[in-house]
Amino acid sequence: MAFRRFVSLLSKRSEWAPRFQNPGKTVCKHPTHQYVRNQRLLHTGKPVMMMKLLSVDELFAKTSLQEHLKKVEKQYDECLQAVTYSGAEDERSEDDMKTKRTKVSLLAPLIQNIRELDKKQKEVTDMETLLKDDDASLRELAELERESCLQDIQDLRQKILELLIPEAEVDMSDLVLEVTAGVGGQEAMLFTAEMFDMYEGFAQYHGWSFDVLEHMSSDLGGLRHASASISGPHSYKKMKFEAGVHRVQRVPKTEKQGRMHTSTMTVAVLPQPTEISFTINPKDLRIETKRASGAGGQHVNTTDSAVRIVHLPTGLVAECQQERSQLKNREKAMKALTAKLYNMKLEEETSKRYNQRKIQVGTKGRSEKIRTYNYAQDRVTDHRISMTVHDVRGFLLGEDLLNEMNSSLQEFSDQEMLMELLEEGSQEES
């Protein structure tokens, strides 16, 4: 990792001088979604099968959003009134009252921000009246107050949008990352190794732990398959959009005639439950031990330290031979198997919802080609939001550029979820 990062920086030393002369700036315009950061261009083309990313003002200009906010406020008032004035003679069930109390508690922050927004908007209207006053000092004071209110309005609107989008419980989970070489032979394996290093760098960038569970190397230093447990704040939330098929287009090291090759690898991101919401019956497991294989020192092929666990009802398999201790390998294999079973359960629960989505950003589908890494054009393109980053080597460091792309994917996913919410609300009314 350190050597690869050094090589990438060394190859860009010619760019350092102009950066010191003209410090990098950040420009963010959501309607066109263009960025300029440290002289590196980040832009999105015309998205395929999806709407543009709307600004906060454009979202609040939608009638459907205003109607939804009024509907939520009405629900809150009704529940609050029922909870406040319920007496002993009230015939409503205790379960019904408990549901209403929970709803009041959950909606309270949103309602507080909605009402504060209404208050600030009225203040802006008052300030605009004062701007027409004959007194110059009063007009100046009103203008300052108006600018302050407008900033508060933007902040409140952003907060309201965040509160409207439900926080998925799984987003708070840790995860198990799996990478597997696809089409392309040795070149696909070399690319898989680079991707695994990129995600290790991404974990370091965010301060997450990165614990290797499996690591099946190829003869040329690539990876056939590898997995790792990643733990840290919002690790699954930031990594979930990486799941799918990644494609690389470049001239392989093994190519003697200089021809461009296309290879693929697959990423799976499995949420690791913090609390097991299902039980694994020990009778459903077949645990096998064997001697570790591959490079690794004196313990290889001398002790039965490698562990393979099979979940008989589903056929899911988890293996680990990274540690010298059979007990530690069994613990890691069990962790990977638990993540796979939990992921299977989540996919069953959400498959109908995802099948109805128009965009399917971050559905964890292994079959969808989500991103292309083109070395000749020095670009990385995410096909879900038609976003392109120039600087492939910088992207593979797993730092700023990967983080920016993930943030953009999260923004599109949040907006999609909000649109779904508004659409469901309008359908219920009709």
Q: d(Cα 83, Cα 92) in Å, to the nearest integer?
A: 11
Q: Which strands form 285-290's sheet, in the order they lie side by side? A: 285-290, 306-311, 316-320
Burial class (CB in 10 A: 0-12, 13-18, 19+), 312: exposed
Average pLDDT over residues 378-385: 94
Structurally, at CATH architecture level, domain 170-272+368-417 sits in 2-Layer Sandwich (3.30)
Which residues, in sequence order, are bridge partners of residue 42? 35, 389
Q: d(Cα 406, Cα 210) in Å, to the nearest integer?
A: 19
Confidence tier at 428 by pLDDT (50, 70, 90): low
Listed residue (329, 176, 159) closest to 239, CA to CA: 176
Is the per-residue pLDDT at 10 higher than 50?
no
Q: d(Cα 73, Cα 29) in Å, to the nearest integer?
A: 31
Which residues, in sequence order, are bridge partners of residue 261? 250
CATH class of the domain at 282-351: alpha beta
Q: d(Cα 317, Cα 305) in Å, to the nearest integer?
A: 17
Q: d(Cα 302, Cα 293) in Å, to the nearest integer?
A: 10
Which residues, in sequence order, are bridge partners of residue 318? 309
Per-residue pLDDT reduced to its tens digit, 242-295: 999 999 999 987 777 888 999 999 999 988 875 545 567 888 889 888 876 655
Q: d(Cα 189, Cα 218) in Å, to the nearest integer?
A: 7
Tally of residues, the chain: 430
Is the per-residue pLDDT at 369 higher than 90?
no
Average pLDDT over residues 310-331: 86
Helix locations, 53-93, DSSP H: 56-60, 63-84
Q: How many other CB atoms are there within 10 angstroms of residue 364's CB atom?
A: 21
Mean pLDDT of the residues in the chain:
79
Q: Tell me how far CA of residue 125 lies from CA of 65, 129, 143, 255, in angstroms.
A: 21, 7, 12, 69
Enumerate residues 6+ apart whose C-beta is below 8 A from 289: 304, 305, 306, 307, 308, 326
Q: What is the pLDDT of residue 391?
A: 96
Q: What is the pLDDT of residue 20?
A: 31
Per-residue pLDDT reduced to its tens digit, 151-205: 999 999 999 999 998 777 778 888 999 999 998 889 999 999 999 999 999 999 9
Enumerate residues 6+ apart whose C-beta is below 8 A from 260: 249, 250, 251, 376
Max mean pLDDT range (3-7, 57-61, 166-170, 421-425): 57-61
Q: Angle, nearest 10°, between helix axes 94-130 and 63-84?
A: 130
What separation, in Å, do the N-terminal and C-terminal C-alpha atoms of the chain show?
A: 57
Listed residue (31, 353, 368) closest to 166, CA to CA: 353
Burial class (CB in 10 A: 0-12, 13-18, 19+), 137: exposed
Q: d(Cα 424, Cα 76) in Å, to the nearest integer?
A: 19
